Amino acid sequence: MKKYLLLVISFIAFLAIAEVKANIFCEEATTTTCKACPAVSEIIYEIYKSHEYPFYFVSLVADKSNVADERTDEYNVYGYPTVFFDGGYRVVFGKQNKQDYINAIEQCLQRDRANIEAIMNTKWNGNGIDVDLTLKSKENDAYEGYLKIYVVEPVSRWNDYEGKPYHFALIGYAINEEIYIEAGKEIKKHVIWNASKEDYVVSNDNIMAIAVVFNVASNTGYSDPPYNNHPFTAYYVDVCVASSPPVDEPPILQFIEKPSSIEGFRNVSFKWKGEDDFGDVLFSYKLVGYEEWHEWGNETTAFYYNLQDGEYEFILRGKDNIGQISQIKWKFVVDTSPPTIVGTSPKDGARNVPIYEPIVIKFSHEMNKKSVKISIYPKVDYTLQWKNGNEIVIYPSLEYETLYTVTIKNATRIGGQKMQKFSFSFETASADVEAPSILYVKPFLSELYGDIKIKFSEPMDTILHNSIIIKPWIPFSYKWEENDTLLLITLRHYLPGNYTVEITKFMEDKSGNPIKSNYSFSFYITLPHITYTSIKNGEENVLPNTEIRIKFSHGMDKNSVEKNLSIHPKCNYSISWEGNVLIISPQLKWGKKYFINISRDAKDNRSIPLNENFSIWFTTEKEVEREGKEEQMPSFTFLLFIISIIIFLLRKKSK
């Protein structure tokens, strides 16, 4: 047990070191003709992909890259493969076990290094990358070092001896120079690295920059032969940071001007713009069925004259400097017909129209509002408002038992087309002397979950005038629906308790008739709580893949519940809902004790918190020890042997 505890403590200590130390930098000296190199490359790449260590590496393919060959000369490479960690602080020569490379990384993690911060960003420029690097020293003394910004291909153009492409192969330096940083200061570097003629295949999705700052150190760091007696001073890594340019997306296109969906003019125009991260945008466009594609160019406008009535589609394309194309469309109808009235309320010839009912006139097209002239006979005062450009709502002061005629003149579309004069008539109802009644109320002697609803027999006066009293008092807002016959009351706060709503005789219909008598009803609000769980508190031998269901008394705010849910010990799990039932699908381990907690901060759809913190615990079933049972069970051969002895003894006794 002590042995395992020691391992755990060591692992935690290592993670703490790894968190505070800088990235480890590795350079693998290799060639495409080296037989042992592919295995070493694969090991290093596996360590990198595991993300278990803060680790970057570069492949120095010496027989393919001049800069890689020069770098191996700086190390005075004895043979291939040779792997240099943190500039040679640790060196692994030849093909070794994976653990040897891990040991070298872990040793580098524990070494002291200067306190230098690095921030780097890269941007694709069409033929390479623009690099911006900031180095900040937190040292008390001035810092002198050497900066190399390696430009690498994550998937190399060169293959190793086994025909597999190298990873992060060096193809050039963006910067390769000495640096000096004053104590507590920072320096900034901006450089443009473009591919040379032989590197023309470099692409924005397969390029990376790795900035490494080396500091002059003693030559005692080499521990692997033949480098332990290396004659020249080593440069060890103080900071390492990497960056890849963001993916170049196709250009973004946007219409600045375009015709309306139904255009009343025969002449239309388009205006647009395009944006791209890495250069200018070229455009091509066409009006489908009217013309062919225009040549790619810088035009940002298009005009069309004297179009015939019909449906049209305009397509715009944009192309960036690497040939990526995006496209947007706009469909519209050219309709130059005169406008018409498509509906009125009340309808022509209607009788018994309530005097409080508004007059609605709907046109077939969007209208020139100033052109529309409306008259009502007999003459009455009125106000009006427009809706959506093609509908007028008139609020007149009408009299009982009167025949009215509404006339529309000079009505003109936005496109200039004019409508002929239009009239319709209706007759108002007799004076209303009937008291309104209450058809239903919700909730009635039950729990309130949403709005309080009160339905009346006819349209009501929409100003309440102390006609609604809630006891105990609680602030509320209200609105009317269904032609002012349905009153919706929304509480500002949902506080648990019992409430009474009184509808007083101040509640009147639009003719001023009050309800016959006061009307009261009650409802209540309770705290949400958990009514059922599929496993009992303290239950034992629960299968690890058991689905756990928790039912709530009310509709819950799902995000609030999930935010305040925890399972201990931590495990992976997924969540789904069936109405008020929370379904947890966990991935539990055998033979462990688990706690499920939901804080009372979890709220229902009314923002009311749970009545109390919820917690249950259970234990999972222990895993069957199959091997132990198999060892305790006698084998079939042994059973046959025992039976044979018994038969032999019985026969001998019978003789």
- The answer on 517 and 445 residing in a single domain is yes
Q: Which domain holds residue 279?
A: 252-334
Residue type for position 420? Q
| Residue among 627, 533, 540 nearest 590 (CA) | 540
Q: For residue 101, give the nearest of 64, 53, 169 by alpha carbon.
A: 53
Residue 103 lies in a domain: yes
254-275 pLDDT per residue, tens: 999 999 998 899 999 999 999 9
Last residue of a domain, one of 289, 317, 334: 334
Domain boundary among 428, 461, 484: 428
The reply to whether 378 falls in a domain is yes
Mean pLDDT of 306-313: 96
The DSSP secondary-structure symbol of 45 reads H
Out of 5-9, 256-260, 628-632, least confident range = 5-9
521/262 Cα distance (integer angstroms): 52
Please report the pLDDT score of residue 229 as a whole number.
Answer: 38
Residue 636 domain-assigned (yes or no) = no
Percent helix, strand and coil across the chain, each to the nearest 5: 15, 45, 45
Residues 222 and 230: their CA atoms lie apart, in Å, by: 7
> Are residues 301 and 294 in contact, defined by beta-carbon separation less than 8 angstroms?
no
C-alpha atoms less than 13 angstroms from C-alpha of 267 in its C-beta half-sphere: 3
Q: What is the dihedral of CA 80, 85, 88, 94, to 10 degrees?
A: -20
Q: Are residues 420 and 357 in the same domain?
A: yes
CA angle at residue 602 from 597 to 604, to 5 degrees? 135
Residue 183 lies in a domain: yes
pLDDT tens digits along 414-433: 889 999 999 999 999 999 88
What percent of the chain lies above the pLDDT cut of 90? 75
At 447 the pLDDT is: 94
Residues 382 and 270 occupy one common structural domain: no
Regarding whether 521 and 536 lie in a shared domain, the answer is no
Judge whether 381 lies within some domain: yes
Token pair, residue 73, equals 């000369």
The confidence band for 526, taking pLDDT boundaries of 50, 70 and 90, is: very high
| For residues 17-31, average pLDDT | 76
- Tell me the pLDDT band of 82, cut-offs 50, 70 and 90: very high
* Nearest C-alpha neighbor of 363 from the set 426, 415, 412, 416: 412
pLDDT for residue 627 is more than 60? no
pLDDT tens for each residue of 455-475: 999 999 999 988 999 999 999
335 Cβ neighbours under 8 A, 6+ residues apart: 262, 263, 264, 309, 365
Task: Please spell the DSSP secondary structure of 386-436, one letter per residue.
Answer: EETTTEEEEEE---TT-EEEEEEES-BBTTS-BPPPEEEEEEEPPPP-PPP
Q: For residues 208 and 66, state if they share a domain.
A: yes
Q: Above 80 in pLDDT, residue 367?
A: yes
Same domain, 407 and 512: no
Last residue of a domain, one of 210, 243, 276: 243
Q: How far apart are the first and last CA of the chain?
A: 61
2 pLDDT higher than 50: no
Q: How many structural domains compose the chain?
A: 5
Task: For tokens 């609105």, name the residue.
Answer: 479
Share of the chain above pLDDT 70, in %: 89
Domain identity same for 519 and 545: no
- What was the pLDDT predicted at 66? 92
| Cross-strand pairs, 297 | 283
**Which phi and psi angles does 404 have, rounded to 5°?**
-115, 145
Average pLDDT of the chain, as a whole number: 88
Write down the pLDDT at residue 169: 96
Place of tokens 């009803």: 521
Same-domain status, 288 and 409 = no
Indicate the burial class of 79 (C-beta count within 10 angstroms; 0-12, 13-18, 19 or more).
Answer: exposed
Token pair in block for residue 267? 């002449």
Task: Summarize pLDDT for 563-621 with one digit per residue, the tens.
Answer: 999 999 989 999 999 999 999 999 999 999 999 999 999 999 999 999 999 999 999 99
Burial class (CB in 10 A: 0-12, 13-18, 19+), 332: middle
Question: Is the model's pLDDT at 635 over the cut of 60?
Answer: no
Cα–Cα distances in angstroms (integers) from residue 110 to residues 23, 85, 478, 572, in the given order: 12, 13, 68, 33
More confident residue, 570 or 300: 300
Q: Residue 648's pLDDT band (boundaries 50, 70, 90)?
A: low
Q: Which residue has the tokens 């495409």?
A: 32
Give the contacts of 408 (CB within 8 A, at least 6 positions apart).
341, 361, 372, 373, 374, 419, 421, 422, 423
Q: What is the pLDDT of residue 20?
A: 41
- Rounded-to-integer distance, Cα 209 and Cα 542, Å: 52
Looking at the domain assignment, is residue 638 inside a domain?
no
Residue 632 placed within a domain = no
Residue 123 within a domain: yes
Q: Please tell me the predicted confidence (pLDDT) of residue 465.
A: 83
DSSP label at 197? G
CATH code: domain of residue 404: 2.60.40.3710
pLDDT in the model for residue 225: 39
Range scoring the smallest mean pLDDT among 332-341, 369-378, 503-512, 626-635: 626-635
Name the 3-class secondary structure at 38. helix
Which pLDDT band, with edges at 50, 70 and 90, does 199 fall under?
Answer: low
pLDDT of residue 542: 92
519 and 615 in a single domain? The answer is no
> What DSSP character marks residue 643?
H
CATH number at residue 307: 2.60.40.10
The pair of structure tokens assigned to 349 is: 């010839």
pLDDT of residue 279: 77
519 and 554: one domain?
no
> In terms of domains, do 95 and 199 share one?
yes
Instruction: Note the pLDDT of residue 65.
Output: 92
Distance CA(20)–CA(42), nearest Å, equals: 27
| Same domain assignment for residues 105 and 195 | yes
